Structure 1
């Protein structure tokens, strides 16, 4: 069972969630008919900035002794990675996903930035909200927003996301990575910014 739950935590790691959200957007959104080259360029840029760069920074921080494991088990270990994540997200909304090009994705990443800043503040006050739950609940709300905004049926994706949220929460509890309180806090830290910011583009 440990192996199964570790696989779930890895497969739906917070690093992958922004790319999942963008992929779903380009797959299901009827607004843009873009050349595949442009879509692939955006996705590759995001993979580099949201997955590859954070992994490289993690190994750098580990070498410097600033973090011990990729799980960032203590609140002190979270401070630098979360601050760097905020900087990377700012770069994305300034250079890769701008409001003039992709208004929905712009606010999706702005929501991610707000959630990251909130998580950073919580870490400063020694509270370890679940970053896994922050990521997956933010994606969940964004997909619902897309479904309402474009009047398209995304019920299958929404239902699958609900199952994944439950699986991720169960895995974090089973692995003793978080308490129920930390998971619940993570859920709302991820969901509420997406819920509030949808008012600017829905």
Structure 2
């Protein structure tokens, strides 16, 4: 059980959540987009949201600024969160501007708001769960997506609910967070996506 719960935290690490949301969108959206466009977007996002943060992590670890990929202390979180905010701004400017795929544009606006909120809390020495921020943001985006396109994706939503519960259980079991930190994380990811629904639904 310990191995399983550790695996949940690793497999559903926050770093992969934005890309999963984008893949989910392209796989479920009824809107036509050419294969070349989809490939270009996914490749760009893979580089910016996964490869670049991993390289940044190893650089910060070499410099002694962080110890593990889970960013266990508030001090360790500040620089990666700041860098992540800059990466999201780059995505919004170059990869997913508002005039191309409006749904994903506002998803990343919500992700940026969540990231800045988490950064502000880290500076205030409060450690909200980044795992919960990531999964709850994707979960709410999927709900909004189903409403927007009037698509029945109840199976996908049920699976996301199970994954959300598994991540919360994993973080509690590993003593990485308190229940309060998990709840804060959930709402920091969830609320911006709810608010931004008004701009694209």
* Common topology (TM > 0.5): yes
C-alpha separation in 2, matches of 1:72 and 1:22: 25
Unpaired segments of 5 or more residues in structure 1? none
What is the match of residue 29 of structure 2? 29
Secondary structure in 1 matching 2:15: coil
Matched, 1:57 2:63: no
Matched, 1:147 2:139: no
CA RMSD in angstroms, aligned pairs only: 0.6
C-alpha separation in 2, matches of 1:164 and 1:3: 16
What is the match of residue 90 of structure 1? 89
C-alpha separation in 1, matches of 2:184 and 2:33: 38
What is the match of residue 128 of structure 1? 127
| TM-score where L is the length of structure 1 | 0.98
Secondary structure in 1 matching 2:39: helix
What is the match of residue 11 of structure 2? 11
In the TM superposition, what is the alpha-carbon distance from 1:17 to its structure 2 partner?
Answer: 0.6
What is the match of residue 194 of structure 1? 193
The one-character-per-residue Cα deviations of 1:23-66 (angstroms, maximum 9, x if unpaired) are: 111111112x1221220111011011000100000000000000
Map 1:179-190 → 2, pairs under 5 A: 179-190=178-189
| TM-score where L is the length of structure 2 | 0.99
The one-character-per-residue Cα deviations of 1:85-104 (angstroms, maximum 9, x if unpaired) are: 00000000100011100000
Secondary structure in 1 matching 2:125: coil
In the TM superposition, what is the alpha-carbon distance from 1:71 to its structure 2 partner?
Answer: 1.1
Secondary structure in 2 matching 1:16: helix
C-alpha separation in 2, matches of 1:157 and 1:60: 36
Secondary structure in 2 matching 1:15: helix
What is the match of residue 168 of structure 2? 169
Secondary structure in 2 matching 1:159: helix
C-alpha separation in 1, matches of 2:14 and 2:105: 18
Unpaired segments of 5 or more residues in structure 2? none
